[in-house]
Structure 1
Amino acid sequence: MLKITNLNKSFCSKNVLKNISFSAPAGKITGFIGKNGSGKTTTFHSILNFIDYSGNITFNNKRIDENSYANIGYLPEERSLMPKLTVYSQVKYLANLKGMSTAEVKSELPKWLDRLQVVGKMNDKIKSLSKGNQQKIQLIATLIHKPDLIILDEPFSGLDPVNTDLLKQVILAEQARGATIIFSDHSMNNVEELCDNVIMINNGLKVLDGSIQDVRESFGLTRIFVRTSMTETELANLPHVISVNLTKNGSYRLVIDNEQAGKELYSLLTKGEYIRTFDQEAPTLDEIFKMKAGETIA
């Protein structure tokens, strides 16, 4: 388990992280979200002991230091491969630093190239690969030594949908292996799909912390999706309805002022008869992100 307690970090007079505390359990995927400049990468750099900070950070009850790095996989937001090296030389160099033998790298690297469908060979130079395939090589270097703590900073950036799905399957496999995984992403759909828990920081403060479902439901079941013969105007005039929108699949999305109004609206919409759709849900994580990111924090 990764545990962070009272993490603070300032650059000159700017307080970037303010008493951040949270934990990321083993065998779980934790989404770490926030606006650009909110402090996500600074938090990652603090975890990795790249920068000085105040507070306490432990992994499996031990402080992270240079001896911990062989057990950590870190994919930085800014990719950092050496373009003149071959794929094999690049991965071998980084894997050797994490304690893997050259023989192990020779055995494991072809499996990873196949697993991630890399278009390129072990002896190809990094600079000859496409940007997407270079990103896959960096991911391989992050994971090939089977780390127990995996930190991924914007791992899906620049990937097409097919390769995004490939990477998601790899992340889920690492979770099944028992790794502690924490990753940042600007796509809330990716976070909802993959993560067990979510942490959000805004202006250096933690503003969300919990399971995806608990976080969503804490905002109330205030979204109703319905298919009905009623018009948009009629729906908008129903009690407790704040707004109405027609979705792309032909249902209406109602925002209501109180989740307890769901039963009353169900009766008004169905009138005791069958309707094809009535679904009462919490706001999506994307909606919640926008709500929390827009808050003014002193």
Structure 2
Amino acid sequence: MKKIAVLTSGGDAPGMNAAVRAVVRAALYYNYEIYGVKRGFEGLIKGDLEQLNASSVGDIIHKGGTFLKTARSKTFMTPEGRKQAIDQLHALNISAVIVIGGDGSFRGAEALSREGIQTIGIPATIDNDLGYTDFTIGFDTAVNTVLRAVTNIRDTSSSHEKTTIIEVMGRNCGDLALYAGAAGGAESIIVPEKPFTVQEIADKIRKGRTRGKLHHILMLAEGAGSATEIQQKLEAETGEKSRITVLGFIQRGGDPTAADRLLASRMGLKAVEACRDGADSAVIGIDKNDLTVTNIDEALKRGKKDDGELTRLTTILST
């Protein structure tokens, strides 16, 4: 009987539990033994694995975070660490591992593959920064979390007639700021993919004041610049002191949206079926609502495409 292990690695993302659930139930459907690895690659090194059944993943589809826990492992990136992990898999006769996480997790999966272990990756990160797939698990939930915050902040910003800089996560990808900003009606959106000047933002603030606008919401992706530096430059340009709100880890938590639960469930099943069909060193993605199976190395080389249409939309509607 084929034995498969599943782990979650790197930063947590809403929908990881739904993905694990799908992997476990799909594996059992195809008569595989399925093992859960606690705390990612670090748990694999330490042999922290347990066999799972259908009940193990009951009532978790709606929960944020990951019941398997997650961690980052520097040890796994060493030959000695990988050997320990491989030894643990061999001891249980596990021949395949499904890795749920982002680009760093996929590099770990690729390393396992080079050691002769069949590996399949499922993209789960709120950053949505993987170029080979339209969306990653957790992104939609994070956008909605940011959107709720924007709605609340706008009330206070309007009452005090202030400009508010809202810094969101995303590393070097601006999707979280762009999507939440567009949906939340932000007046300015700053992302790493698009150059900006403080002068442009200051002109937009002044234009808004002229037509009676009481507030200005500025969405800032964390990889696009310093919120404090932008705040200081805006004050110098406009004479008004803005406020900064950094949303932080609140963006990673919360119950996953229906979209993320469905995406995670579809990808979990696809990962098991790809494993059954002999795919190796591959990752699951979605392209125009169709699931895809792509080589990890090829997937990691694909750059993230700039959503020009959404950028154009926000530029026009926020004037």
TM over 0.5: no
Query: Would you tell me which structure has more helix in proportion to its own residues?
Result: 2
Higher strand share: 1
Specify the structure having the higher radius of gyration (Cα): 1
The normalised TM-score by structure 2 is 0.29
